[in-house]
Each structure stands twice: as C-alpha cells, then as structure tokens.
Amino acid sequence: MKRHACGALLLACVACHGSGAERARLTTIRSCNYDVAFSGDGRARVTASCDADGPMAFRLAQAFLASSVRGPQRPKNLRFSSSDGRLSYAVDLAQLAEHQRDFDRAAHIGASFFAPMSNVLMVPEPLTTDLPVMVHVSAEAPLAVSVGLAHDKSPDTYKLMAHEIPVATYFAFGKLEQRTLDVGGAKLEVTTLDGALDQSADEVSAWIQSSANAVRDFYGAFPVPRASLTVLPIPERDSVLFGKVLPESEPGIALLLGQHAPRKALYSDWILVHELFHLGFPSFFEEGKWLDEGLATYYEPIIRVRAGLYSEQELWNEWESSMPQGLPAFTGAGLEKADDFHGVYWGGAIACLLADVTARKRRLDAGLEVGLRALREAGGTASEVWSLNEVIGAVDHALGAPTLAPVATAHAARGSAFDLQALFVELGVSRDASGAIQLSDAAPLSAIRHAITQKP
C-alpha cells in the first residue's frame, strides 16, 4: 500500500505543540488556494486563503525561512496564526540567494531566480493528508516563469496536496531559456537560468535529450509523463557539478552546470543520468536510502554503457575500485545505519550487484531491472512514497523468487560477511600486474557479466 509518510510526519509535528496547536486541531480545513506573484526584485508576494471552519495557522516549511518572510506579525514557533483562514506575506528570495552555495534556499543567477516551491508556500495547519492546494502563479512583465508542479486545468494554475509542500518541486522566474523535450511521448521541460555557458542551448538540450533517451530505454518508457529540469550555470567551473531531485507534486531536477564545461564533460558525466534514473523509483521516508541511492549508483553506468556513452571496461574498472568503499556498511554496521556517501551509495550498489547476479543465475536475461520496470509500471515513481518492504516485495514478486529480500535481511539492519573480491573473480574481473582491469570470458559467471551491460 502506498502512503504519504511526509504527511504523517507533519501531522505528528502539529500534535507536538502546545495549547495553540490543540485548539487548531478542532478546525477542519477543506482546501487552500495560494496566489503567488513574482517581481523583478526577487520577491514572491503570496496571498493564501483556506476554506476552514475555525482558526488555523500557516507554518514555514523550513526554519531558515524565518528571516526572509514578512507577514502581518512575527511568526511564533515558525507559525502565523489566522482567524479567518487568510494570510498575506512576502518571501525575499534575493535575500535567501545570498547563500550562493545553497541552492536549496534559492539561487540568483543573472536576471533569474530559482528555489524549491516549499520556500514560497506555507503549510496549512491542522494538516491532513487529503488537503488539496491550488497555486496560481503570475509575474511582472517581461519576466518568464517555470513551475514544476502538476498543472491544473486553468492557465498558470498548479495543484498539489498540502502534505507535499515541504518537498514540493522547483520553480524559476526572470530571464529564462525554456524548451520542452519529447522523450517517447513524455515531456521533459528544460529551463536554463540567465547565466553564461560555453555550450549553446541546442548543444545542452541535445545532451539532456540523449541522457533522457537512455533512461527511457532502460525503463521501457520515460519514468513519468512530465518532469522539469532546471539548469543552473555556475561561473568559472568546467564540469557538471551536482544534481538533485525534488519529487512533489511532479518531480523536478536541479542541475548545476559549469560555465566552461566542454562537450566531452557533458557526455562523460554521470550526474544527469543518475538523477533521471531516480524519477522511476519511489521515495522512502526515513529508511531505504541505501537502496534508493544504491540502485541509481549501480544502474547509472549500465545505462551509459548501453547508450554508448561509457565502455564496459570503464564500468568494471569503476566498480572494482569503488565498490569496496561500501563494504564497512555492508559487512559491519548495516546499510540502514550508513550515514556517509561510501556506505549509502557504494554499499547500496554492492547490494544491487549481488541481487542482479542472483536473479541472472536463475535466468540470464531477467536481471534485477525486470523488477524495477514492474515497480514503475505499478506506479512506483519518485512522486510516490512507498515503504522499503513494499518495494522489495514488488520487485521480488516480479522476479518470481526472493532476490532483494535476502540481501536486505543479511545486510540492512546489520551487516554480515561477504567476499566482494571473490564475486568479481567469478565474474571475470581482475587486475594485471600494472593495475589495469582485465575481463575474462573463461570465468564461471562471465556470461552474467556480459548480460548486465547488454540491452535486454
């Protein structure tokens, strides 16, 4: 059963506050509307109106917003009280963007601004998981606007559920370059902020298109009908720097791209494919990060090999040298306790390799990805919150036998012994005296090694 765990968390938080929150629990909120107007000075002016049968509150989604939000009074415990379900306030995105290295707050690049929608919309309380929210967006001429939220029927109007606000996807406004890519019938809306890039808009779009097509080919269809991708040009850098997905109400990707990144840096990049892969896998709540990131770490190079963007030799060289970083979590404390990049990403990737090999021992052409495609077809995409057990159960059901479950049992809550190097040897992966990677077709699992990178 799918669930909205973030909503459950917010409801729990409401219950933790004092007498004001207790009085607020008597109020029923049926729906909310937000009118958001963007101006060239970097401000979002918001009018919120909720259909409520009593007093309520509007809560800031993040504590760091307190100094950048202006309302009719000072917030108390990050909340503005409202006796009639209405509130007018302004968010100073220019001030938020002064933390230039933290685009989770906001970014100001040239004549454009960018931020998560959670920094503009307040959370109505008392909160329920079935509280619909409509958002109407406008901007001063000649500013352009890009909003990743799900479209409603009316122009410039979007929709989400109130519990989705803390992880609501990205928006941008100002001077923007916008285009929509067709990815097998799905729409990938690409917005580039007003910053200098050595590569032309056509060249950047062609690279994004090729990466999106590769992910589409892996899943059998692009993971979601619509997604947004915002390119943030970063001055004086020469590579793809970072990417991140926000899943609600439709998924959006932020991609930090260096101003001087050459064409070769784009097509040898792993970050974009990694983030696009995430679109086809459910979100978790306080669990399973090792599987979420482990799958993206494991399949990103496979997807690039199949698309001709990476070689099989490069893939096995990367895995043989990098996967051992995940062994302390995999064999020691357990993947659920991993709290660093090595344990989460590479420990998770070891789990995926082991599960993939297990599946292919039963049937060479039916690896772990068969379960992932079935999961996506069942609605398990980034905008949905599933439990770890639900995901593992759905994947193993599609594979016809326990595959991920035994790996999780042996290595999630606590680690257990595992000889990664022996598995590489069985797959025919080793290094010669000079340290160069060698691939042997005489190894017992060499056919599985080939099958992992072959297109189905």
Distance CA 250, CA 231 (A): 17
From 121, 149, 173, the end of a domain falls on 173
Domain of residue 39: give its range: 1-173
Same domain, 293 and 195: no
The enclosing domain of 189 has a CATH number of 1.10.390.10
> 279, 305, 333 — which closes off a domain?
279
For residues 67 and 158, membership in a common domain is answered with yes
CA end-to-end span of the chain: 30
What's the confidence (pLDDT) of residue 5? 39
Q: Is residue 383 part of a domain?
A: yes
Residues 181 and 252 in one domain: yes
> What's residue 3's pLDDT?
42
147 in a structural domain: yes
- pLDDT of 7 reads 41
Structural domain tally of the chain?
3
**Per-10-residue mean pLDDT for the chain, 456 residues long?**
40 39 69 98 97 97 95 94 97 89 88 97 95 97 96 95 95 98 98 97 98 98 98 97 94 97 97 98 95 98 97 98 98 96 97 98 98 97 96 98 98 97 98 97 98 94
So what's the pLDDT on residue 101? Answer: 66
Q: What is the DSSP string of 331-387?
A: III-GGG--SHIIIIIHHHHHHHHHHHHHHHH-TT--HHHHHHHHHHTT-STTSB--
Residue 437 is predicted with a pLDDT of 97
Bridge-based pairing of strands 69-70 and 429-431 is: unpaired
Do 168 and 180 lie in one domain? The reply is: no
**Max CA distance (Å), the chain:** 76
Together in a domain, 21 and 98: yes
Q: Is 338 found in the same domain as 261?
A: no
- What residues pair up with 86 in beta bridges, in sequence order? 49
Query: Is residue 284 situated within a structural domain?
Result: no
Report the pLDDT value the prediction gives residue 202, as an integer from 0 to 100: 98
Residues 121 and 156 in one domain: yes
Domain boundary among 234, 253, 279: 279
Note whether 247 and 116 are within 8 A (CB). Answer: no
Could you tell me if 417 and 433 lie in one domain? yes
What pLDDT does 100 receive? 61
DSSP 43-87: EEEEEEEEEESS-EEEE-SSGGGGGGEE-SS--BTTEEEESSSEE
- Do 169 and 180 share a domain, yes or no? no
Residues 329 and 388 in one domain: yes
Return the pLDDT at 249: 87
* Pair (103, 237) in one structural domain: no
Instruction: Looking at the structure, tell me whether residues 306 and 380 fall in a common domain.
Output: yes
